[in-house]
Amino acid sequence: MTSADKAAPLRVRMRGITKQYGAIQSLRGVNLDVAPGEVLGLVGDNGAGKSTLSKVLSGAVVPDSGSIEIDGRTVHFNDPGDARAHHIEMVYQDLSLCDTVDVAGNLFLGREPMRRVLGVPTLDHAKMHRDARDMLDGLGIRIPDTKLDVENLSGGQRQAIAISRAVSFDPKVLIMDEPTAALAVAEVEAVLELVRTVSARGVSVILISHRLQDLFLVCDRITVMYEGNAIADRPIGETNLQEIVDLIVGHKFNARSARPHAEH
């Protein structure tokens, strides 16, 4: 790492994040770092706290305590709108697309291009479909017709549209929660390619996945969560599948891996 790298602030710096739901301590003081343009894999067993932590970063969950810095500045998110204003976007597993709206309509939902016809604001269909086509082409996404309702698309195509929509908000940080869980092999490849395309543009990507082999294909680093803590953090070149599996199930929960990973 050069001195210039050291001087650049982290894109995301979360410290001591806690969240309790009734008797369940979902997050127990989590530290998480993401560098600009980095692809971070976030792994852990069911219930480890991955989704909760990512919802804290995307403003959907307000933590009980802890701090978040984006590009070196402390931020407080009370809702996803606050996070979006700081260019943080999350693609949820349920995708939140409108099934009966076409591809272009989903991409521009809530901000459709308008034009005036005899002084009356009217949806500019032609522009919307042109812009949608440009957006998909720019990301290398192959969807033949932007006029198809998304209910007629494959799982992979739907995932690509949800990601494209998030990318169109010009994110600095893109969080994807299980984007490949329900996809066929070729569709997984397409989503991973999309991750590479987006990160090459300088976007930091947080990828939550139980498919560890996918993470080894695209991630720069993997952070492991265990029962509400981030227990280990490994550059991808310094670990392997077996070590990550052991960390996830807790077999390697020893003095080395139990240390908070980022001690700045």
Ligand X SMILES: Nc1ncnc2c1ncn2[C@@H]1O[C@H](COP(=O)(O)OP(=O)(O)OP(=O)(O)O)[C@@H](O)[C@H]1O
58 binds, among Mg ion, ligand X, none (CB under 5 to 8 A by kind): none
Task: Kindly provide the b/e burial profile for residues 123-157, where b requires at least 16 CB atoms within 10 angstroms of the residue's own CB.
Answer: ebeeebbebbbebbeebebebeebeeebeebeebb
Applying CB under 6 A, among 8, 9, 24, 98 the residue interacting with ligand X is 24
Stretch that binds ligand X, among 29-37, 39-47, 187-195, 243-251 (CB under 6 A): 39-47
Scanning residues 59 to 78, which ones bind ligand X (CB under 6 A)?
none
Applying CB under 6 A, among 46, 74, 100, 213 the residue interacting with ligand X is 46
Residue 69 · residue 13 · CB < 8 Å: yes
**Shortest Cβ distance from residue 55 to ligand X (Å)?**
8
Q: Which is nearer to ligand X, 9 or 47 (CB)?
A: 47
- Binding to ligand X by residue 44, rule CB under 6 A? yes
Residue with tokens 């390619």: 193
The set of long-range contacts for 128-134, using a CB threshold of 8 Å and a minimum separation of 24, is 128/104, 129/104, 131/104, 131/107, 132/103, 132/104, 132/107, 132/108
47 binds, among ligand X, Mg ion, none (CB under 5 to 8 A by kind): ligand X
Q: Which is nearer to ligand X, 146 or 257 (CB)?
A: 257
Residues 6 or more apart whose Cβ sits within 8 Å of residue 220: 35, 38, 39, 40, 235, 236
Residue 44 CA to residue 226 CA, distance in Å, equals: 6
Residue 166 CA to residue 159 CA, distance in Å, equals: 11
- Binding to ligand X by residue 52, rule CB under 6 A? yes
Residues 6 or more apart whose Cβ sits within 8 Å of residue 214: 180, 188, 192, 207
Taking the alpha carbons at both ends of the chain, their separation in whole angstroms is 16
CB atoms near residue 103 (< 10 Å): 29
Q: Which is nearer to Mg ion, 50 or 84 (CB)?
A: 50
Q: Which residue of this chain has its Cβ atom nearest to Mg ion in the complex?
A: 51
Site size with ligand X, rule: CB under 6 A: 11
Largest CA distance in the chain: 72
Scanning residues 48 to 77, which ones bind Mg ion (CB under 5 A)?
51
DSSP 57-70: HTTSS--SEEEEEE
Stretch that binds ligand X, among 3-11, 46-54, 134-142, 179-187 (CB under 6 A): 46-54
- Binding to ligand X by residue 157, rule CB under 6 A? no
- Binding to ligand X by residue 209, rule CB under 6 A? no
Residue 202 CA to residue 39 CA, distance in Å, equals: 10
**Shortest Cβ distance from residue 61 to Mg ion (Å)?**
12
Q: Which is nearer to ligand X, 25 or 197 (CB)?
A: 25
Residues 223-262: x where in contact with ligand X by CB under 6 A, - otherwise, as a string: ----------------------------------------
Contacting positions for ligand X (CB under 6 A): 21, 24, 26, 44, 46-52
Contacting positions for Mg ion (CB under 5 A): 51
